[in-house]
Amino acid sequence: MRCLTSNKQLNKPNKNGGGEMQLVVKVGGWLGLILIEQWATRVCLTGLQAKSESAMMFLLGSGLIVLVGLVVGVGYICRQAWWQSVDHWRQVLCQGGMVLGGLVVISLIMVVIMHGIGQATTANQKNITDWVTSLRGWRQIWLFGHLIIIVPMLEELLFRGLFCRWFLGQHQRWQALVSAGAFASVHEMRLSLSWLLYFGAGLILACLYQRQHDLRLNWVVHSLYNGLSLI
């Protein structure tokens, strides 16, 4: 009887183990998508500065194919938050405008603080400025399009859409905090005023998505914010 009981216990499915394994797979997959997005973006930026036309076309083409594949794949997973209908456009637009204003205000406050301690801007913003000033003609236009259209779309899909779909669904406060921390860490690896700026922006965007569940609104606000930061 003891042996029979032991065999039954061994044959019982370990629900906790299965859940933990599923979580590990999701975390690994999500981090993998972030790394792929970062790599493809770097390939495109390298292609913009390539001297050879053939190298430029190859790098831009390969990087863009990966980015478009990410948009299509993750966009399909998050399709319910991407294609839902909006009944009250005025309320949605007002909320988006308030969030954009909040992002601008927090950025201005951080810029003032940075200037007060002798720091001109964030490291990420400095790199973007260097890229923009080093390019001319259509390459500069392409970079602007990438920063204003493609990057916000992918970041909203990954850091808001997919993250909120896969992780901490019953704990929205932690969900917003963790997603904002991951968003900040991608833009600034060390804890600093720059990290706090991106954390604040990520937290505001996460709260907007939790309230509206509309990635289109997040994308528009994020795109406008990126556009304003390039002026």
Residue 85 backbone zone (phi > 0: left; psi -120 to 50: alpha; other: beta)? beta
**Those residues with Cβ within 8 angstroms of residue 96's Cβ, 6 or more apart along the chain or in another chain:** 208, 217, 220, 221
Residue pointed to by tokens 């001319």: 136
Cα dist from 132 to 25, 53, 120, 151, 180, whole Å:
38, 19, 17, 15, 26
> What pLDDT, on a 0 to 100 scale, did the predictor assign at position 80?
82
Confidence (pLDDT) at 177 = 95
* Cα 89 versus chain centre, distance: 25
Q: How many CB atoms lie within 10 A of CB 114?
A: 17
pLDDT in tens, 10-20: 455 555 666 78
Instruction: Please state the pTM of the whole predicted model.
Output: 0.85
At residue 51, the 3 state secondary structure works out as coil
